[in-house]
Amino acid sequence: MIVKPAEADRFAAAPPASARLILVYGPDTAGVADFGARIAAKLGGERVEFDARALRAEPGRLADAAAAVSMFGDRQLLRVGGADDGVTEAAALLLASADGGHPALMLAGDLKRTSPLRKLAESHPAARALACYPPDARAFAALVRDQAKALGLNADPAAVALIAAATAPERGLLAQELEKLALYLDAAPERPRRLDPDAVRTVGAGEGAAEVDSLVDSLLARDGKRAAAALARLEAEGESGIGLMRAAQRRLAQLADARAAVDQGQTPEAAADSIRPPLFWKAKPGFVAALKRWRSPEVAAARSALLAAERAIKAPQSAGERLATEALLAIATPRR
C-alpha cells in the first residue's frame, strides 16, 4: 500500500502494527535515512541488519528471521539497507509467510515505477511503500516550521526563510541547526520559545557546516591527526558532541548504502553518483576513496559505536562530551 506524501509524517510517528514490510525509497537519500530512522525508532525492538547481496543468494532468510523467536522472546526489527529489486523475492517470501512475526524495514534508492520491489510493496495489503523526493522550496519551508515546532520553537516567517536558505535541501543539516537553536533558546515542547531572525543570525545557521564536513571527511579518510584538529576547533566553537556524532552517522548511513551497492557489483564511482541529493563535487573524491577503504562490517561497527556513545552520554553521571570525542577519534584511528 502506498503512503501518500501528506501522510508520511503521521505514518512515521505511528507505523501500523499490521505492516509486515515497510519500504522507504526515493532519490532523497537524506529523507530515506530520516524516515527510516524515525520508523525504526517507533517500531522498536532489537535491530537485526541484513545484507541485500546475501538476500539475493538466500531470499528465504528474511522470512525465516521474521518467524523466528528471539532468545529472550523480544520483538526484533529486520532492517535491509541498500535494498533494490534483487531482494524482491525475499520480500515476497516474507509477505507470503504466516501472519505475525518480526517486521522488516527496507531502505532503497530511487526505484522506477516498473520496479518489482516497489510494485510489490505498493500493492500488498501487509506492506507499505513510502517515497522520498527532495522537497521544493515551499515544502522545505513547511518542514522547517514543523521540525522547529516539535522542538518547542515558534519560528517567525523571516526566521524560517533564513534557515531554509542555509540548509535546503539537507534534512540532516536542518535537524542539526534546529537542535542548536533549541539549545541556545532553552526551548522544548513543554517550554516553547519564539525563534526570530536575530537568534538565527546569532547562532549562525549553516555557517559551521563546512567545518563539520571537514571533520566527517577526515573520519572517513581515517586521518586521526586531521580529525583531532577539526574536533578541537569545533569544540572551541561550542559544537555539541552529539550533534557531531549525528553528522558522522548521516555520512556513514550514506556510506553503508553505497558500500552495499559496491558489494553488489557497482563501481565505487557509480555508487557515489547514486547518492541523492547528489554529493557536492568537492566531496565526491573523498567519498569514492572511502568506499574503496571501508568494508560493510566496518561501517556497521562504526555506526553501532556512535549509537552506543550517544546512549552513554545521555546516561546519568556520564563523562559527557569526552565520550563523543573518544568515539569519533576511534573511527579515525581504528585498532590494527
Tens digit of each residue's pLDDT (9 = 90 or more) over 196-215:
988 887 776 555 556 777 88
Torsional sign, CA 285, 86, 51, 81: positive
Higher-pLDDT residue of 200, 72: 200
- The mean pLDDT value for 240-263 works out to 86
pLDDT-above-90 percentage for the chain: 35
CATH for the 211-332 domain, from 3.40.50.300, 1.20.272.10, 1.10.1740.10, 1.25.40.10: 1.20.272.10
Cα distance between residue 213 and residue 60, in whole Å: 40
Q: For 116-173, write each residue's pLDDT tens digit.
A: 999 999 999 999 999 988 777 788 888 899 889 989 999 999 889 888 877 777 776 7
Q: In this model, does residue 280 exceed pLDDT 70?
A: no
CA–CA distance from 117 to each of 32, 59, 65, 217 (Å)? Answer: 16, 13, 19, 33
Query: What pLDDT score does 86 carry?
Result: 93
Bond preceding residue 103 cis, omega within 30 of 0: no
Q: In this model, does residue 277 exceed pLDDT 70?
A: no
Are 286 and 221 contacting, i.e. CB atoms less than 8 angstroms apart? yes
- The mean pLDDT value for 183-193 works out to 91
Q: In this model, does residue 30 exceed pLDDT 90?
A: no
What separation, in Å, do the N-terminal and C-terminal C-alpha atoms of the chain show?
A: 47
Kindly indicate whether the domain formed by 137-205 is annotated with CATH number 1.10.8.60.
yes
pLDDT-above-70 percentage for the chain: 91
Instruction: Indicate the domain borders of the chain.
Output: 2-131, 137-205, 211-332
The per-residue DSSP string of 163-213 comes to HHHHHTT-HHHHHHHHHHHHHHHT-BTTB-EEE-HHHHHHHTTTTTHHHHH
Q: For 31-61, write each residue's pLDDT tens digit.
A: 888 889 889 988 888 888 898 888 998 999 9
- The mean pLDDT value for 214-219 works out to 89
* 51, β-bridge pairs: 81
**Matching CATH topology for 2-131 and 137-205?**
no
Q: In this model, does residue 71 exceed pLDDT 50?
A: no
Are 104 and 22 contacting, i.e. CB atoms less than 8 angstroms apart? yes
Are 19 and 127 contacting, i.e. CB atoms less than 8 angstroms apart? yes
For the chain, the average pLDDT equals: 85
- CATH code linked to domain 2-131: 3.40.50.300
Strands (E) in the chain, as ranges, are 2-3, 21-25, 46-51, 76-83, 104-108, 127-131, 153-155, 193-195
Query: What pLDDT score does 213 carry?
Result: 78
Query: What pLDDT score does 24 carry?
Result: 95
Query: What pLDDT score does 279 carry?
Result: 65
Query: What pLDDT score does 335 carry?
Result: 62
pLDDT interval class at 218 (50, 70, 90)? very high
Q: Which of 136-150, 249-263, 271-285 is predicted with the least confidence, judged by mean pLDDT?
A: 271-285
Q: For 87-122, write each residue's pLDDT tens digit.
A: 999 999 999 887 667 899 999 988 999 999 999 999
